[in-house]
Amino acid sequence: MGQKDRDLYGYVADRLAKAEAGAPEAFYDLGLLYSTGHGVDKDYVQAHKWFNLAAIRGLRRAAVDRCEVAQDMTRFDIAEAQRQAREWINTH
């Protein structure tokens, strides 16, 4: 693993830790990472979930990005992302 990979891994780990603490910016950043596949596997369900959590906490740009990601998702994928967001809220 090269330095760039270690740095990216550290960034993803940091964003996850801050998300655990409830930081809206971390939710948004995770949405970006999952929507682009930067440092993680591209996963629109996860991206939608994280954007949704950021939007709920007041980040307007997250709502815009959530809508953009949703254009490439099935309604079943969107429902799953919403279910995961509700689960996150209920457990954190």
Residues 6-30 pLDDT 10s = 777 899 999 999 999 999 999 999 9
* CA 43 – CA 33 distance, rounded (Å): 9
Contact 62, 85 (CB under 8 A): no
**pLDDT score recorded for residue 7:** 73
CA 59, distance to chain mean position in Å, is 13
Q: Are 34 and 53 in contact (CB under 8 A)?
A: no
Per DSSP, 64 falls in state H
Q: Count the domains in the chain.
A: 1
| 76 dihedral zone (left: phi>0; alpha: psi -120 to 50; beta) | alpha
Q: Which residues contact 18 (CB under 8 A, 6 or more apart)?
A: 25, 26
- Amino acid residing at 31: G
Mean pLDDT of the chain: 94
Please tell me the pTM assigned to this model: 0.92
Arithmetic mean of pLDDT, 20-47: 96
